[in-house]
Structure 1
Amino acid sequence: MSTQAGRVIRWGVIGVGDVVEHKSGRAFQTVPGSALVAVMRRDAERAADFARRFGVPRWYADADELLADPEVDAVYVATPPDSHASYTARAAAAGKPVYVEKPMARTAGECEQMISDCTRAGVPLFVAYYRRAMPRFATAVELVRSGRIGAVRSVVVRHQRPADRPSSSLPWRLDPQMSGGGHFVDLASHTLDWLDFLLGPVTDVSGAAAGPDGPVAETQVVARLSFGDVLGVGLWDYDAAESCDLIELVGDAGTLQLSTFGTEPLRLTTAHGTTEIPGAYPPVVQEPLISNVVASLRGEADPLSTGASALRTARVIDSILAEHRRTHHLVF
């Protein structure tokens, strides 16, 4: 699909689950120059229900039928990660640009295949690392890049919370064969991707992970990261007594603290004291990034989150989890 200023981008969505329901779906209808014209879910009754409630003209229970719809210009893949590569390949073969949920795929190898498929088909590939566009994080970027904490020297990341205790079947986010890992892959990828956006690509990484015996997801992860001259450390623990969500950027003139998933104010500390700066989420959290994707497809903006940038995050995660995956015989 060629870019064209003023053109309305007509979207089809593959997989209308909770993420589309609460974090992204409405944005395809409210962003200027965008329209949601078709949705697909293998459960036909639920696909029809979503279409009715969201006022979407058409619904399908077969992805190939949606991809063959001539009124669908671009496709949003919002299924679990184990199917991202397949659906992306099929969408690209149909000539449709792709916006795919994060994490982009289970491994960097799958991400590379997705990029190759889209490049060969001549269609763009975007990834839903939406913190790159959210106002809360744009404020943090501006504070850092304007020199409010001086030159950034180091970064500390902590994310911990009590363990999930599933009452019945294992959620797909905790099934490595579907998700590529556990909460670290699902949640920490947001933080790692945003640090890539703020500080530049990771130039060196090492880490270790632990978890219960068997082919299960990691529950504790530690990592050492370098972003050029900026050194970083991270701790992620999803079987902890208390919750913690912290990104701390340390500069030679101050410190900036914020969370990846919270809505509390950012905390800027300099020689002049500590200032709290509002940093709430938008009502539909993906709307700012979807606005950028639509503008990019219309030839009006440069993309903020692409297959190429998301691949870098996937490679970092692969490096950190490599030994854990070998030990637990996790092969995708």
Structure 2
Amino acid sequence: MKKTINWGIIGCGNVTEHKSGPAFNKVEGSNLIAVMRRNADLARDYARRHKVPKWYDDADDLINDKEVNAVYVATPPSSHALYAIKAMKAGKPVYVENPMAATFQQCVEMNAVSKETGVPLYVAYYRRTLPGFRKVKTLIEDGSIGKPLVVNIMLIRPPLPAETDRKNPSWRVQPDIAGGGIFYDLASHQLDFLDFLFGPVKKVSGSSANFGGYYEAEDTVVAQMEFENGVLGSGTWSFVSDDSSTRDVMEIIGTKGRIEFTTFGHEPVLLFKEHDFLEFPYINPENIQYNLISNVVDAIRGEAECVSTGETAARTNFVMEKIVY
């Protein structure tokens, strides 16, 4: 009889409400049986609304629950390493939110514990499993644009109210919690996906600035990089523009055409060739992390290799630190 993966969530906040939490009960061979949040009332409420049998207000209690045999860490990045390491030392596979940690050094420590204990560590870079992003990978691999030469990223938008509230700033703009600013939160998805397409980055440099003055972290970033396969890349990110400058585009240029797609808009993938233009619409799963969680469950059960591990995810933290710091 195949092992059922009984999950416990540490940090049942907004990301778990729809993107991930419900998927743990939808994937075959997987159940969500416990949740934890430091605020007991919020933990109890989440468990009630999502029909989760157990709730805790102490992470150690969830990790030590004998019925929980895998742990999803969905807290802000600064505590990812703490909880992931505790869970792995307790012998429980870990699925951790992205970015993997607040610093590259914390990623190194997490991977060291995974290697020492033999307990697997996975990271929620779910775009590696979404249909539109998979289509991009297929188009590259089947030679639709010839040899890939250059990739360009542009992500620009105005600041959100939670990012401009100086009295109660979002944790996403506090480097001691998030690792950096909004760049760490959003660009990590893009940089990880490029790692998935082209392999590790071998050279990277960048500059960052704070032009808006709303918070201490960087709000504007530019970067250039070279991948091990020879593809050259550049990126521009800014989170203090006005609406007229809003952009969300990734463009891959090859010797025979180019691919254009969004990271967060989930619009159709576009293929441009000399005498051709093709559009590839796609539909994401209801819970955006479903495909990756299914892959993780299969990996824990020894039935598949996971596409997003601590080893691959740590590379993204390394690249972001080189760009910003």
TM-score, with normalisation over the residues of structure 2?
Answer: 0.95
SS at match of 2:314: helix
Percentage of identical aligned residues: 49
1:97-108 mapped onto 2 (5 Å cutoff): 97-108=93-104
1:137-216 mapped onto 2 (5 Å cutoff): 137-165=133-161, 166-167=164-165, 168-212=167-211, 216=216
Matched-pair contact (CA < 8 Å) for 2:204–2:323: yes
SS at match of 1:203: strand
Gaps of 5+ in 1: 323-332
| Structure 1 partner of 2:220 | 220
Q: Which amino acid counterpart does residue 235 of structure 2 have in structure 1?
A: G
Gaps of 5+ in 2: none
| Structure 1 partner of 2:26 | 30
1:11-50 mapped onto 2 (5 Å cutoff): 11-50=7-46
Partner Cα separation in structure 2 for residue 114 and residue 296 of structure 1: 18
1:120 matched to 2:116? The reply is yes
SS at match of 1:23: coil
Partner Cα separation in structure 2 for residue 271 and residue 32 of structure 1: 45
1:240-251 mapped onto 2 (5 Å cutoff): 240-241=241-242, 242-251=245-254
Partner Cα separation in structure 2 for residue 214 and residue 260 of structure 1: 25
Partner Cα separation in structure 2 for residue 281 and residue 179 of structure 1: 27
Q: Which amino acid counterpart does residue 114 of structure 2 have in structure 1?
A: C
Partner Cα separation in structure 1 for residue 3 and residue 38 of structure 2: 30
SS at match of 1:24: coil
1:236 matched to 2:232? The reply is no
Candidates 266, 271, 288, aligned match of 2:269: 266
Matched-pair contact (CA < 8 Å) for 2:147–2:256: yes
SS at match of 2:177: helix
Q: CA deviation at 1:184?
A: 0.4
Partner Cα separation in structure 1 for residue 83 and residue 305 of structure 2: 24
TM-score, with normalisation over the residues of structure 1?
Answer: 0.93
Q: Which amino acid counterpart does residue 142 of structure 2 have in structure 1?
A: S
Matched-pair contact (CA < 8 Å) for 1:245–1:260: yes
Candidates 274, 290, 294, aligned match of 2:293: 290
Q: CA deviation at 1:215?
A: 7.5
| Structure 1 partner of 2:259 | 256
Q: CA deviation at 1:7?
A: 1.4
Bigger shift: residues 192-201 or 277-286:
277-286
Bigger shift: residues 271-280 or 48-57:
271-280
Partner Cα separation in structure 2 for residue 206 and residue 288 of structure 1: 33
Partner Cα separation in structure 1 for residue 56 and residue 158 of structure 2: 39
Matched-pair contact (CA < 8 Å) for 1:247–1:257: yes
Matched-pair contact (CA < 8 Å) for 1:264–1:280: no
SS at match of 2:201: coil
Q: Which amino acid counterpart does residue 64 of structure 2 have in structure 1?
A: A
Candidates 58, 64, 68, aligned match of 2:60: 64
Partner Cα separation in structure 2 for residue 148 and residue 215 of structure 1: 43
Q: Which amino acid counterpart does residue 193 of structure 1 have in structure 2?
A: D
Q: CA deviation at 1:272?
A: 2.8
Q: Which amino acid counterpart does residue 169 of structure 1 have in structure 2?
A: N
Q: CA deviation at 1:6?
A: 2.0
Runs of 4+ in 1 over 4 A off after TM superposition: 212-215
Deviations 1:115-159 (A, max 9, x none): 112222220000001101111111111111111111101111000
Q: Which amino acid counterpart does residue 13 of structure 1 have in structure 2?
A: I
Partner Cα separation in structure 2 for residue 70 and residue 247 of structure 1: 45
SS at match of 1:248: strand
Q: CA deviation at 1:280?
A: 3.6
Deviations 1:214-257 (A, max 9, x none): 97111110001111311111100111122100100001111000
Deviations 1:252-281 (A, max 9, x none): 111000011012111101123211110343
1:132 matched to 2:128? The reply is yes
Matched-pair contact (CA < 8 Å) for 1:152–1:252: yes
Partner Cα separation in structure 2 for residue 49 and residue 100 of structure 1: 22
| Structure 2 partner of 1:315 | 318
Deviations 1:2-42 (A, max 9, x none): xxx72111100000000001210011000111100111011
